[in-house]
Structure 1
Amino acid sequence: MAFLDTIRERAVSTLNQVLDRKPTNGLSKDEIFCRDYNLPDSEIIVHESSAEVSISSENSKEAYRNELLPQGKIYLTDHFLVFSDSYDRNNCSFTLHLSSVKKVERSQNSDYAFALTITTYSKISITIYLVGIRSESERFAQTLKITLKRNLVNNKKLQPFIQTCYSEYLLAKNKVSNEKIEHMPAGGLGLVFKFPGNPKEQRDKSKMKLWFDLFRIDGRNLSLIKTPMFYKLIRVGLPNRLRGEIWELCCGSIYLRFQNQNEYHKILEDNKNRTSFSIDEIEKDLNRSLPEYAAYQTPEGISRLRNVLTAYSWKNPEVGYCQAMNIVVAALLIYMSEEQAFWSLNLLVDKIVPGYYSKTMYGTLLDQKVFESLVQTTMPLLWDHITKNDIQLSVVSLPWFLSLYLSSMPLVFAFRILDVFFLQGPKTLFQVALAVLKINGEQLLQTEDDGSFISIIKDYFQELDQSAHPTSPNPKYKSITKFQELLVTAFKEFSNITSETIETHRRKHRDGIFQNISTFVKRTELRNLPKTNNIDNETLSIIYDRFYSIVQSDVTVGTGSNFMDFRAFRLFMAETCDWVQPNIKNDKSQDVFLNHLFAQWDIEGQRSLSLSNLIIGLNKIIDPDLMTSMSNFFQLYDYKNTGRLDREGILQVSEDLLNITSAWKDGVLLDSLTETAIENAVADEVYKAQASKEDGKDEVIQLPSEVNIDKEKFAALQSERYLQAASGFIQRAFEYAQPEEEEILIKDLAIDDSIAHNAALNPNTPVFVNLPTFRMVVLADETYELFFSQTFRTSFHLDKPLNSKFDTMRNLRGMFDGLLADGLKVAHKVRQRMDSAASSALNPIINSDNSSLKSTNRLRVQDDYEEERDDDLGVISIDEDLLQSSESQAVEKVKKKTEAQTETEKKSGVKYDQSGDSNLIDFDLS
């Protein structure tokens, strides 16, 4: 039966392993395992098995001689061998780094089918009795052998590392260990400036002797066996010289320090003399960090604190430096070396109290809500009093959690709290906080405002060294201090406040806290953005959401990226701009122009855009003023801010204009000229159908139910316009370009008579175009003027909702489908034609929107010339005849100037549809 029970147990274990691999609360089994045993997140369980263990040491030959050896699970990872008693982890557990294993051999014990004996460098002998079928035990042994071989490279790190451990120095100094420790390891500032408190009153020497005995029997640092004595010694208080090492052993930062030796010093060296916003903030707080401790009034103490905070800001730039971090690090450095404090800070911020030290402090705010919930559950009478008098409990308790009690009570007591905190995690903070309220409950019930509530707690913290029962006749009770009473209340009466309890409350309140923080952060950031006259507040809110959704920044957590790289910028533009298409292989033509935008909007030159950078850039690019729009575009290519574009710049502008107008050139999008032409053609056909009826005065205009469109011809006409615009732009730009040196070069450097009249066409002659000339060239073409005044701006849809399914691009099919649906607009145009025909039979000419737009364009050209004549234009040549001619003459001159260009394009293979506008549209009137 025992054999069958073993098989059944193994089957259930295997099934659980498979199920456990699924993520739980967002974490996999391996991640949960690493957090439970304070291992680096990169560790993965290689093998696990049920086992019993027997432990002995060279200094104590006695092993566990109980009939029942510690039973539990043994886990093998890439770098660790971990055991935990199934009944009570505090009874027996260990986390051995494989580098500390010196020998593994099979044990010849007849009572067990399979056993392994492991010997560590600290002379600890651990016999592991594997429980299960033999094949699985053999597989565990083989896996252990392979893993040990892979870990041989880390064995070289062991000797340098143990030189930094005070536990090794303590044993070597007392001739218990054979390790050669030449110097006392680097320690905390307390070695120089003394540790807080009175060593005699704290019985520091006696505590050191107890830890010395424990190290002899149960090992130390990377090979320590945790027994009930280990936990008892922590609760009674750690000796000053060992406190730093035990802290890092309890929280697991010692493993990070072992794996990343010398990284701390490398970070400092690589970033020497660099500055950042975080470093500026660090400098402001250095002299405000535990000012009551003497070391922080000296250059040495300030220097150590600066080094650790600065190194962390470079290690984790997303967090950088946050409020209260200086206080915590200052406390660590009293007992730890800089490197120890650095890795402990990493673990503290990332895993122990995540979100406490972040831009939004979301972790602290969440735990304040959890604390209030626990007070309501455990002390309902006090909670009712707090809510009745509108006392803000979080104002009282927030400093306790944020500074880990270091700024609330005398340091000598705060460090005792930290001893337990590093051992059992953040639940310690809640247990102590609840105990403080319970002990002072009667007085707190007499308060009616925040001030008196805070005053009672403040006085209590300053009296922790006094007797808790000063009037008791029993000397035993009279000798109990208020701090001892606090510890008993916290860890006995509130022992039911477990990590699982806290996590349950966190899940309950997390969404509400995140939403409140997210709303607050968003509102604050939007309020601090530069004023945007072209983007309203509602659109700003949408841009904010899209920005952070694209850069994948969890703004409520405060640890995500707040900057947009070029890839994210391109994605943002593709979601909001009609002319930016998703990435197509081997087609990067649009990226050239997007890079121009990205580079100009990147004001700080860090190859990334903040939300502020993006908003400022978008506000400029959608400016409705025509002159401003052209100026902003010109500045994209004026890299040196000289107000000039050279020959290469002109060619780049021409090429980019051709690329970004591809959507219109290809007929994917329509501009207002094409839309107006289509509307007028539809209206003309409807008018003809209406006029052909016998009753031509019918007030009701009947629209056709469907239209057959020659889409290709409309697309070809629009494409022709954009090709002509691109060709005309480059021709006029070089025609009106100015030589770098004035008239001398025209005569001396002329190559032949065909270009002697214009130095701009001579490749050996440097030329430039300034802003007034650029505007003149743009305004000389109807399509490009419309592009800068309307088409480009309206192609941006910044108010497009996130995850929107509709397509904002208006193409030919969409245009035609919606045309007849908009009956009022078409009917209005038809009515205009009917009224005009009735009023004057002698004037059949209909003034279309197209001709009106042309007239407006020409007038704008003339106004622009008059405006630019007041500028210092150098040698710009202005056609005075064009300025003085009538509108019709101006149009004729522009046509003549583009004839040669048109002929050139025809020869190059570009074909144009010269057919008239008749037969463009066929109506199905059936």
Structure 2
Amino acid sequence: MSFFESLRDKAVTTISLLIERKDSDGVSPDELFCRQHRLPLGEKVLNQSAVEVGYLADSTKAAYRTNSYPQGKVYLTPHFLVFQDIYDGRSCLFVLHLSAIKKVERLPASSYGFALGIHTHSHINVKLYLVGLRSESELFSSQLMGALQSNKPQAKNMAFFVQTCYSEYLLAKNHVPSAETVNQVPASGLGLTFGYPGNLRELRDRSKMKLWFDLFRADGRNLSLIKTPTFAKLVRVGLPNRLRGEIWELNCGSMYMRIDHKDEYEKLLTDNENKHSIAVEEISKDLYRSLPEYAAYQDPEGIERLRRVLVAYSWKNPDIGYCQAMNIVTAALLIYMSEEQAFWCLNTLCDRIIPGYYSKTMYGTLLDQRVFESLVEQTMPVLWNHITKHDIQLSVISLPWFLCLYLTSMPLIFAFRILDVFFMEGPTTLFRVALAILKINGEELIKTTDDGTFIQILKKYFTSLDQRSEPSSTNPKNAQRTKFMDLFLVAFREFSVITDEMVEKHRTKHRNTVFGNISQFVKRTELRNLPRIANLSNDDVSSIYDRFYSIVRQQITVSGGSSFMEFELFTIFMSQICDFIDPEPTDDNTFQKQERFLKRLFEHWCSEDSSKLSLKDLVIGLNKLIEPDLLTSISNFFALYCENGKVDREGILTISEDLLFITLPWEMGKLHDALTATAIENAIADKICEQQEAVGVSNQDPIPIPSNIDIDKEKIESMQIERYLSAASTFIQRAFEYAQPHEEDVLISDLPVDHKLSHNAALNPRLPVFLNLPTFRMVILADETYELLFSSTIRGSIHIDTPTDGFDPMRNLRDMFDGLLADGREVAKKVRRRMDSAAHPGQLSSDNSSLKSRKSSKSHIEDDDDRDDDFSAIDIDESEKDFLFAAEVQALADPVSSKTDDSRHLRQFHDIRTDTQHSSKKANDNLIDFD
């Protein structure tokens, strides 16, 4: 027994590996299996077994048909039982939906050892003779029972579903005992009301219906149809009008979607009633352009059906919404299908059969045009050489054939015959017919030298498809044969070598080239539609575009560049281009501060939905973030926090915390700013001057730059750390010193006369205060470090042009020294000036001061219309310090020591915030209390 158990475990492991394994295109075996048998994506093969099959209809007296497809494999998925011929992988004897199975029983032992009897709702009895070890057969039987048990809730839809199938109604109307009771004609297409294209007598519609009636009695119908070679023959000779819609949805697999998603179509329409979108507007424009030659689409009933189906699909798949030619295809479906049938058939077409045909970029159609050209070159080299020699654009001519499925190229009755085979055999039908059209007209086409004549020949051919190809032939069969029959014969006999594998091989060959061309086109189009910005070059915007879509991880060719970035992806984006954003912060405190700042930035940049950021929003936001103008840069930062042009007490503390977070890489010495770079250059220059003086080098001699200079790196690094921490402390002190109280809280008439009034009521921790833009600018410009932060430091730490395939880590401050030595031009200039200054003591060195004061910036503030002129009148003496925050006075009044501990300052800052919040809470009880 353990031997069989080990075999079972090994089989299960092997199946699991096969299920999880992906091919080179990233498609799993389960996905390929679903595509091959038209199953809904998501079905997984639970088990498979070698079998021999026999079946019998209750309405016939014949023996079990064991000679049709005697050997093959049966596959079990959660919702289907599929048999596939072992000799011809493209043939499939049956695809049984588990809802259509009424009973499964174990048959008496035979020479096979294990057999199952399956009874379907259409009264077809199928025998499965399982070949293999009994333990494997037992496992298959057990899993089949489990799948049937799980499918019980879904089986309840079966009674409703059969009422919508005309095949069931056809048998019930003719009193076939095995048929379900269907009392009324199922909902059908517009053809039932407005008539079907073509002459029913010439199309032999009644004779075809009789053939299908016999097939349904013998081989089942809809969800339990046994597909035999007769089924394929009847499809190729043309489907009867009343059955065309049902056979279409059975062959393409949309019938399975319809039973599994009962009422979803109506729910989509109800939930989105009266909603507007771009897709809905485009649909309204194209409704009357949909097969205008058919009477139903000149009538409100037909237009309304078409509108409902297209609108429902636009809400079902908003990424595609609505695209050109979808109205043509849907209009054709609605002639033979109900609205719900057409809706699910359209879903299957767009998602699985011809993906990418109906998208904003039509990448699927363009790819198949390249495949078609390759097939023409391969099968008709003489015609292809003629086409290339005269520069005839074949893809322009054939594009409507593929995109509209020949519905706009030839009379509808012939286009529908092509669709009959297309839904059964897939996209290869389009290629075979197109190649046959060129081959039949090859002799005339090879005489043309321009596109116009080429197109006229083909148009004339399409209008003559109903004519006899050999009217004077003495053979009666040839005399009755039409040009369309010849087209079918050439397409499905001479070009039967065009298989799915061949088409997919050519697609793989040209996919990257076509996708690359489309991506570049989409990129140019979207970049052209972006607003003009001043601070980003065209290369910068291009880099932003590439990074945006590489992070969103969505094919641009599918969506046409209409994706949005959510906050998590925005964090990744910013961490890749900003030195002050850590991609993986290890400290919880840092992580919270970073997330809070980025969330504020994200929501401020979003123009419409606060949860999604478009490419346009991102470009505009980054343009503001790297603003080179000092005052504008300060204003952009202040706008992140202000409401109605003011920032309250809590906002001031938030700004100071965010400034601490942004400057953290400089506070920790990981990055250097312009002041530090100048200090390093001065230190190196001083060292070189000392060496030059020691060896007695003349001022006129060239100055060699050594490969290594020993300077006090720790001291320079410490100076930068102290400077940034001091700037943070000074900012919060000055922000509250110069903040203004709200006017309603400082009226003199409300104050007791026996109390002394402070010059600045904002110093009272119990009064609400605010900071406006002019004040914020003044506080920033009062500190050299923060002034430099907004003028150049932040902008220099953002690297938009960093390649998307690799990101350099943040450089440590010490890594910068070697770079300065390698490029010693600036250092050499400083050394020369020092040596000249030593030779002329009266000349002042320009390197004694780090940076000059920005008089132009201050003049801008003085000219600002919003400037508060009372700032110059504020005079704070020692007695007024009683009104300052006690914790702020103690923590911030003392100068920063030479060796400042970063963590100590952060703790002080946290204490200040806590005291301020406590003071603000207390102020709510008594706003004016000077005791």
> Normalising to structure 2: TM-score of the pair?
0.89
- Which residue of the partner structure matches residue 780 of structure 1? 782
Structure 2 counterpart of 1:866: 862
For residues 691 and 902 of structure 1, the distance between their equivalents in structure 2, rounded to whole angstroms, comes to 54
Q: How does 1:162-177 map to 2 (within 5 A)?
A: 162-176=162-176, 177=178
Instruction: Give 1:734 deviation, angstroms.
Output: 3.0
In 1, the alpha carbon distance for the partners of 2:816 and 2:13 equals 63
> 1:55 & 1:559 partners in 2: Cα distance?
50
**Code of the aligned partner of 2:762:** A
Deviates more, 1:421-430 or 1:711-720: 711-720
Q: Which amino acid aligns with 2:471?
A: P
Find the aligned partners of 2:886 and 2:816 in 1 and give their Cα distance.
29
Q: 1:752 to 1:727 in 2, by over 3 A?
A: farther
Query: Structure 1's 118 and 904: CA in aligned 2 closer, same or farther, altered over 3 A?
Result: closer
Partner residue in 1 for 2:733: 731
Asked whether the 8 Å contact 2:122–2:220 carries over to 1, the reply is yes
In structure 2, give the amino acid aligned to 1:453: F
Alignment of 1:514-553 (within 5 A): 514-553=515-554
Shift of 1:806: 3.1
Could you give the per-residue CA deviations for residues 393-430 of structure 1, whole angstroms, max 9, x where no partner exists? 11110000000001111111111110000000000001
1:631 aligns with 2:662: no
For residue 146 of structure 1, report the CA deviation from its aligned partner. Answer: 2.1
Describe the shift of the 1:557–1:605 C-alpha distance in structure 2 as closer, same or farther (beyond 3 A). closer
Name the aligned partner's letter for residue 581 of structure 1.
Answer: D
Q: How far apart in 2 are the matches of 1:632 and 1:700?
A: 47
Q: How does 1:818-829 map to 2 (within 5 A)?
A: 818-829=819-830
Q: Quote the residue 2:797 is aligned against.
A: 795
- The answer for the alignment partner of 1:648 in structure 2 is 650
Q: 1:573 to 1:413 in 2, by over 3 A?
A: same
What residue is the counterpart of 1:193 in the other structure?
194
Q: How many angstroms apart in 2 are the aligned matches of 1:35 and 1:752?
A: 90
Q: CA deviation at 1:322?
A: 1.3
Alignment of 1:280-291 (within 5 A): 280-291=281-292
Counterparts in 2 of 1:750 and 1:318: CA distance versus 1, 3 Å? farther
- Structure 2 CA distance for partners of 1:709 and 1:582, relative to 1, 3 Å: farther
Q: 2-side partners of 1:308 and 1:439: how far apart?
A: 38
Matched, 1:714 2:716: yes
Q: Matches of 2:553 and 2:752 in 1, distance apart?
A: 58
Contact 2:19 2:45 in 1 (8 A): no
Change (3 A) 1:758 1:908: closer
Distance 2:594 2:633 in 1: 19
| Counterpart in the other structure of 2:429 | 428
Q: Which residue of 1 aligns with 2:566?
A: 565
AA paired with 2:853? T
- CA shift, 1:197, in A, is 1.6
Match runs of 1:471-482 below 5 Å: 471-482=472-483
Q: What is the CA-CA distance between 1:746 and the residue it aligns to? A: 5.5
Which of 887, 897, 921 lines up with 1:913 in the alignment? 897
How far did residue 41 of structure 1 move? 1.6
Distance 1:245 1:749, change over 3 A: farther
Q: Which moved more, 1:495-504 or 1:200-209?
A: 200-209
Partner of 1:5: none
In structure 2, distance between residues paired with 1:331 and 1:615: 43
Unaligned stretches of 5+ residues in structure 1: 1-7, 883-891, 917-926
Q: Which of 575, 583, 599 is 1:595 aligned to?
A: 599
Cα offset, 1:526, TM superposition: 2.3
Query: What amino acid maps onto 1:624 in structure 2?
Result: P
SS at match of 2:747: helix
Moved more, 427-436 or 306-315: 306-315
Aligned to 1:121: 121
**Does the 8 Å CA contact 2:386/2:446 hold for their aligned counterparts?**
yes
Amino acid corresponding to residue 858 of structure 2 in structure 1 = Q
Cα drift, residue 628 of structure 1: 1.4
Map Cα deviations across residues 712-746 of structure 1 (whole Å, 9 max, x no partner).
54343323322332233233333333333279525
SS of equivalent residue, structure 2 residue 647: strand
Aligned residue in 1 for 2:913: none
2:329 alignment partner in structure 1: 328
Deviation at 1:751, TM superposition (A): 12
- Change in CA separation of 1:746 and 1:399 when aligned onto 2, cut-off 3 Å: farther
Structure 1 residue aligned with 2:623: 619
Shift of 1:214: 1.3
Amino acid at match of 1:107: L
Q: 2:660 aligns with which of 658, 661, 670?
A: 658
Q: Distance in 2 between matches of 1:833 and 1:676?
A: 14
How far residue 67 of structure 1 moved from its aligned partner, in angstroms, is 6.3
Preserved CA contact (<8 Å) 1:204 1:239: yes
Alignment of 1:457-476 (within 5 A): 457-476=458-477
What SS does the corresponding residue of 2:792 show, helix, strand or coil? helix
Residue 559 of structure 1: CA displacement?
7.3
Distance in 1 between the 2:771 and 2:14 partners?
Answer: 76
d(CA) in 1 for partners of 2:12, 2:899: 82
Cα deviation, residue 329, structure 1: 0.9
Matched-pair contact (CA < 8 Å) for 2:163–2:169: yes
For 1:483 and 1:630, locate their aligned partners in 2 and report how far apart those are by CA, in whole Å.
74
The secondary structure found in structure 2 opposite 1:878 is helix
- Kindly indicate whether residue 304 of structure 2 is the aligned counterpart of residue 303 of structure 1: yes
Counterpart for residue 675 of structure 1: 677
The reply to whether residue 878 of structure 1 matches residue 866 of structure 2 is no
Q: Is the 8 A contact 1:54 1:126 kept in 2?
A: yes
Letter in 2 for 1:622: I
In the alignment, which residue of structure 1 is the partner of 2:908? none
The amino acid across from 1:309 in the alignment is L
| Counterpart residue number, 1:609 | 613
User: Aligned with 1:769: secondary structure?
Assistant: strand
Q: CA deviation at 1:905?
A: 6.7
Which deviations, in whole Å up to 9, do the C-alpha atoms of 1:647-697 show, x marking residues without a partner? 333332222222211111222211111221222223223323433445565
The verdict on how the C-alpha distance between 1:732 and 1:805 changes in structure 2, with shifts beyond 3 A counting, is closer
Instruction: Report the residue type matching 2:725 in the other structure.
Output: L
Deviation at 1:278, TM superposition (A): 1.8
Per-residue deviation, 1:118: 0.7
Percent pairwise identity: 58
The within-5 A match list for 1:372-383 is 372-383=373-384
In the other structure, the counterpart of 1:3 is: none
- Cα separation, 1, equivalents of 2:333 and 2:786: 66
What runs of 5+ residues in structure 2 fail to find an aligned partner?
Answer: 1-6, 901-931
Residues 817, 142 of structure 1: alpha-carbon distance in 2 compared, 3 angstrom cutoff: same
Specify the SS of the correspondent of 2:612: coil
Displacement after TM superposition at 1:93 (Å): 0.2
Q: How many residues align?
A: 884
- Equivalent residue number for residue 241 of structure 2: 240
2:918 alignment partner in structure 1: none
Tell me by how many angstroms 1:574 deviates.
0.5
Matched residue, 1:22: 21
Q: State the 1:178 CA deviation.
A: 5.0
What is aligned with 1:848?
Answer: 847
Q: State the Cα deviation string for residues 330-383 of structure 1 (Å, max 9, x = none).
A: 111111112111111111111111111122211111111111111122222221
What amino acid does structure 2 have at the position aligned with 1:768?
F
Return the offset for 1:558: 3.8
Structure 2: distance between partners of 1:702 and 1:56 = 100
| Bigger Cα displacement from structure 2, 767-776 vs 243-252 | 767-776
Pairing 1:81-480 to 2, within 5 Å after superposition: 81-88=81-88, 93-108=93-108, 110-176=110-176, 177-480=178-481
Q: Structure 2 vs 1, CA of residues 865 and 85 (structure 1 numbering), >3 Å: closer, same or farther?
A: closer
SS, match of residue 820 in structure 1: helix
Confirm or deny: 8 A CA contact 2:733 2:892 kept in the other structure. no
Q: How far apart in 2 are the matches of 1:294 and 1:581?
A: 65
Q: Which moved more, 1:96-105 or 1:759-768?
A: 759-768
SS in 2 for 1:145: helix
1:827 and 1:453, CA in 2 relative to 1: closer, same or farther beyond 3 A?
same
Match of 2:907 in 1: none
Q: CA 1:666–1:478 in structure 2 vs 1: closer, same or farther (change >3 Å)? A: same
CA distance in structure 2 between the aligned counterparts of 1:715 and 1:911, rounded to whole angstroms:
18
Partner of 2:4: none
Question: What's 1:503 paired with?
Answer: 504
In structure 2, distance between residues paired with 1:467 and 1:72: 43
Give the 3 Å change call, closer, same or farther, for CA 703–90 of structure 1 in structure 2.
Answer: closer
* Cα gap change, 1:141 to 1:16, in 2 (>3 Å): closer
Take 2:570 and 2:718, find their aligned partners in 1: how far apart are those partners?
A: 32
Shift of 1:385: 1.7
Q: CA deviation at 1:120?
A: 0.8
